Chain A
Amino acid sequence: MPNPEAYVGRPTSRVDGPAKVTGAARYAAEYFAPDLAYGVVVSSAIARGRITAIDTAAALAVPGVIHVFTHENRPRTAWLDYNYRDEVAPPGSPFRPLHGPEIQFSGQPVALVVAESFEAAGYAASLVKVEYEAAGHVTDLEVKRHEAYVPKKKRAGVKPPPEPRGDPEGAFGAAPVHVDGDYTHAIEHHNPMEPHASTVVWEGDGKLTIYDKVQGSQNSQKYVASVFGLNADDVRVVNAYVGGAFGSGLRPQYQLFLAVMAALELKRSVRVVLTRDQMFTFTHRPHALQTIRLGADEEGRLMSVRHDVVQSTSQFEDYQENIVNWSGLMYRCDNVALTHKLAQIDTYTPGDMRAPGATTGVFALEIAMDELAERVGIDPVELRLRNYAEKDQDENKEFTSKELRECYRIGAERFGWSRRNPAPRSMRDGRELVGWGMATGCWEAYFQKTSARARLAAGGELEIATASSDIGTGTYTILAQLAADDLGVPIERVAVRIGDSSLPASPIEGGSWTAASAGAAVQAACGAVREKLLGLARSIDGSPLANAGIEHVAFRDGRIELAGDPERFVTLADAMQAGGVEHVEAEETVSPDILTSMRYSMYTHSAIFAEVKVDEELGIIRVTRIVNAVAAGRILNPKTARSQVLGGIVMGVGMALEEESMLDHNLGRFMNHNFAEYHVPVNADIHDIDVIFVPEHDDKANPLGVKGLGEIGIVGTAAAIANAIYHATGKRIRALPITPDKLL
């Protein structure tokens, strides 16, 4: 029976909102220590080669400079690659800062200047003279395309392409309707507002407290302990607040290594903050060259799907993402071939960026589907309904739930899709051409092993603790909602402690799995507290709950009541008093159910509808309207949920129209490394966005029935916009971003 007073399901403002808007919330670079020293990184000017000389004399002569670390004087750290491999490292040899004279990518850290003040460190860093012997570098994926290979070692947690099914070549040949296109997008950098930073506080006795910009405190903790040979108990990593990350904080980044190295060597506290341009020297969404071939019958039913991708990676790690599997998953087709290869270029290793793989692959597939709809002469929504996948053919499994049909129906209705004139260039608003396009979105509904602790005090204060992070998504809030409901306390009495490696084990925050995983762990811990409390309540002489099982009681307003007879109750305080305790505490761990995972596939779905208005003569595009209908299981907090999807959509607008990390292939360097020249959408670019949560019941994906929302908003958005631009102008652009020049 749904509880009308429940917090879960109610739009609830962020519990951490006041702290954030008043500045009380502190980020990694905002912690101080009495002996804090400041480190500034010197970055390589070349992309590949060796350092032949490094002159630090002028830097050391600057008053206040304590030390300049280079590969020549770097303290010893672990020898084996294994020690540098973090929780989400792809196969290969992780980058080791200041390891030797070899340069592997432009912007590689070549020195760390540590000084008594940030200003002195910054000035001294500009005086470090580095001489290089450059070797030939290649940063253009097109040049390395012919060297593409299938990675031998697969990245854990990333599905490799399924084996081909049916006879894709034969079916393509037999198909009366074909689509055959090359698709690509620009390399993107995550560009969170908060730059990467680590403040390492030297606690004495070799103990460190590290405030790190990262999406998983325990990932950084294990990395630091492993690389520097420390006892994990001596390393505490805190990431209580994270100013956006989008995947850039999944792996410990080089500022953490450098700050810890300096702190251990100097035996004092050190902070290292990367500059905005240095934020372009590490992880990024990789470049990918995609080819899609679709064959269909006259009614648009897919007869053959082929999706081949060459994706960039670094020279030292085989970063892999699932780009192509979506093309075998999202639509029913019996003849499918999907390939994913890597080619190495001289950049840092790419990494996961919001819906990694899906953002890339689905953008291409969904433009190809739009092309197919046009060739067949049917509505793009109708095409998708005709090819609706009732099961996961990639893995031959049923879905735990899939309300995508409702997404199409409700989204189309809200958008007014039925009024669309299918002919390109047929709709106008004054001088502007109007285009309506749509696309499907898809993302995995992950569930990860996670632990949480709940502790309820006799006074009614409830503390929830897990090492999970809140990277701006609303984790604090949904955990507070869940806990408040489970134990019947007002949300104001719930203190959520997260973002600290000393708390119960949790994976990194990524993959949109935190709501499901940390949420289920909190619910399990609260459930255990409920059981203990009921036990205490039943032990009272003449207890009104003497014969009640946990299913017979409700926790409400500081009481345990008999369901249906609220006059029979025991207060929490009385229960604890009976047991002679001041508080009741429990820690629980939840894990995915292996049998369910074997039988079922779990995905979030969406249908995105976009309207663009294009000044064709000048190539100026405005995205005037977006409707995104999302089926993501149970929605814990419609307010933060909507914000999640909104953010994804805005990022999708950026991908479609603006975002592009420009590599100078002669220098092997990203050149537009600041917010003036790397364009993300600004307010003027964003108009009406309507997010709809389509009802979806899922009792298998995880105990909470939630599927996660951090990523689904971006998947398909760029395709919907590109398709709308085609509808407006008749120009099919298959290379993102669609900047004005592409429409001239």
Chain B
Amino acid sequence: MNNFEYLRAETLDQAVAAAAANPAAKFIAGGTNLVDLMKYNVERPERVIDITRLPLREIAPTEEGGLLIGALVPNSDLAYDERIQACYPLLASAILAGASPQLRNSATTGGNLLQRTRCYYFYDPGTPCNKREPGTGCPAIEGQNRIHAILGTSEHCIATHPSDMCVGLAALEAVIHVQGQGGARRIPIGEFHRLPGDTPHIDTTLRHDEVVTGVELPPSDYGSNHTYLKLRDRLSYAFALVSVAAALKIEDGVVAKARLALGGVAHKPWRDTAAEALLVGNPPGRERFAAAAEEVLRDARGYAHNSFKIELARRAIIRALEQAAAGTPQSQTDKRIR
């Protein structure tokens, strides 16, 4: 870990100004990812700006009938919030599918959005990595890529986004509220995370001086027909090989609305609106679910060790849609898959 300057921001403006003044500054809240990365010498911020004193810990109703989640709301508080559990159980489930209770107690909503990839090479400064050191290459493409992406990859990077929460947010069409020197912005979740392209070192569209202030959830129709299905190499405490957030609004035996997003398969939470459209207007059923899965995976591409993810994702999508249609969401405590 390098030496760094530590600043504690008392106001949002202070935080923004402190970041703007130093291009190698980083915000810290829960610290569950940044501190790890600093210990590995992957992140070497010159300045660490502590934003935990900012008044961003509320979950408040919005005028539209949704909720605005403060960026500093811990993952555990969010998952167990009564309003979230009642109206956005998919989000609660996605959060509880990730990490451990100890980590969720510390990790924040804003920080979860900004988790960095678990790519082995990114984490190991003894190896090349375009995400860590642009231009050095991507050994994962020809190397160990079991946990890597099958969608939206580039010749420069095949890393995945590790968050479970963000997959839930993608399905729920969350909007990220940010503030920087240029003022406040709202970024739809689908535009928040980036694909790697030829700049894989840039994970999001957040500007350097911008702080995530909150996550807005629009009103939800998905209280009963939803699931978050996470498949991994052990039954708990592992990142997803493939995860699926699925939500259906079923009216008179027909899918009126559908949401489908995947984790563990791409550099960002992977929502597919075309696949959703295939479901709408039809009765829920395995054949339709399979068609949606085919649509999601049409351009999927595997590498030496992760090609299985294409088939696994196809099956996981079908199962998740079955769970959602049946109103039997996956439990995150009972590890038996429904």
A residues with a Cβ closer than 8 A to B are 43-45, 106-107, 119, 122-123, 126, 277, 431-432, 613, 615, 617-620, 622, 657-658, 662-667, 669, 671-674, 676-677, 679, 681-685, 739-741, 744
In the complex, how many angstroms separate the beta carbon of B97 from the nearest chain A beta carbon?
12
Residues of A within 8 A of B146 (CB): 662
Residue in chain B with minimal CB distance to A619: B312
6 closest Cβ contacts across the A-B interface?
Answer: A684-B236, A741-B308, A671-B120, A684-B235, A45-B126, A664-B143
Q: How far is the CA of A432 from the CA of B338 in the complex (A)?
A: 9
Give how many B residues have a beta carbon under 8 Å from the other chain's beta carbons: 38
Secondary structure at the B interface, as helix, strand, loop or mixed, is loop
Q: Known contacts A617-B319, A671-B121: does B241 contact A740 (CB below 8 Å)?
A: yes
A-B contact pairs, 26 of them (CB 8 A): A45-B126, A45-B127, A123-B2, A126-B1, A126-B41, A431-B338, A617-B315, A618-B231, A618-B312, A619-B312, A620-B231, A664-B143, A666-B142, A667-B139, A669-B126, A671-B120, A671-B127, A671-B143, A674-B123, A676-B238, A676-B239, A685-B235, A685-B236, A740-B231, A744-B311, A744-B312
In the complex, how many angstroms separate the beta carbon of A614 from the nearest chain B beta carbon?
10
In the complex, how many angstroms separate the beta carbon of A195 from the nearest chain B beta carbon?
13
Residue in chain B with minimal CB distance to A46: B126
Q: Known contacts A432-B336, A622-B336: does B234 contact A684 (CB below 8 Å)?
A: yes
Residues of A within 8 A of B123 (CB): 674
In the complex, how many angstroms separate the beta carbon of B22 from the nearest chain A beta carbon?
18
Residue interface mask B104-115, A partner, CB < 8 A = 1: 000000000000
In the complex, B10 has a CB within 8 A of chain A: no
Please state if A672 and B143 are interface contacts (CB–CB under 8 Å).
Answer: no
In the complex, B316 has a CB within 8 A of chain A: yes
Residues of B within 8 A of A676 (CB): 118, 238-239
Our pick among A107, A119, A667, A739 for the contact of B143 (Cβ within 8 Å) is A667
CB-CB contacts below 8 Å: B150-204 with A: none
Please state if A620 and B337 are interface contacts (CB–CB under 8 Å).
Answer: yes
Q: Known contacts A123-B3, A666-B143: does B124 contact A671 (CB below 8 Å)?
A: yes
CB-CB contacts below 8 Å: B1-36 with A: 1-3
Cβ-Cβ contact count across A and B, 8 Å cutoff: 109
Q: How far is the CA of A44 from the CA of B121 in the complex (A)?
A: 15
Residues of B within 8 A of A685 (CB): 234-236
Q: How far is the CA of A618 from the CA of B243 in the complex (A)?
A: 12
Residues of A within 8 A of B144 (CB): 662-664, 671-672
Q: Known contacts A618-B319, A673-B124, A682-B235: does B2 contact A126 (CB below 8 Å)?
A: yes
In the complex, how many angstroms separate the beta carbon of B233 from the nearest chain A beta carbon?
5
CB-CB contacts below 8 Å: B287-316 with A: 308, 311-312, 315-316
Residue in chain A with minimal CB distance to B125: A126
Residues of A within 8 A of B142 (CB): 666
Residue in chain B with minimal CB distance to A683: B236
Residues of A within 8 A of B143 (CB): 664-667, 671
Q: How far is the CA of A331 from the CA of B231 in the complex (A)?
A: 40
Residues of A within 8 A of B234 (CB): 657-658, 679, 681-682, 684-685
In the complex, B147 has a CB within 8 A of chain A: yes
Q: How far is the CA of A682 from the CA of B231 in the complex (A)?
A: 15
In the complex, how many angstroms separate the beta carbon of A675 from the nearest chain B beta carbon?
9
In the complex, how many angstroms separate the beta carbon of B18 from the nearest chain A beta carbon?
22
Residues of A within 8 A of B319 (CB): 617-618
Q: How far is the CA of A664 from the CA of B119 in the complex (A)?
A: 13
Residues of A within 8 A of B238 (CB): 676, 679
Q: How far is the CA of A682 from the CA of B118 in the complex (A)?
A: 19
Q: How far is the CA of A674 from the CA of B121 in the complex (A)?
A: 12
Residues of B within 8 A of A674 (CB): 123
Q: How far is the CA of A682 from the CA of B40 in the complex (A)?
A: 24
Residue interface mask B129-148, A partner, CB < 8 A = 1: 00000000001001110110
Q: How far is the CA of A107 from the CA of B125 in the complex (A)?
A: 12
Residues of A within 8 A of B312 (CB): 618-619, 740-741, 744
Residue in chain B with minimal CB distance to A127: B2
Q: How far is the CA of A669 from the CA of B127 in the complex (A)?
A: 9
Residues of A within 8 A of B139 (CB): 664, 666-667
Residue in chain A with minimal CB distance to B142: A666
In the complex, how many angstroms separate the beta carbon of B91 from the nearest chain A beta carbon?
22
Q: How far is the CA of A683 from the CA of B319 in the complex (A)?
A: 25
CB-CB contacts below 8 Å: B252-268 with A: none
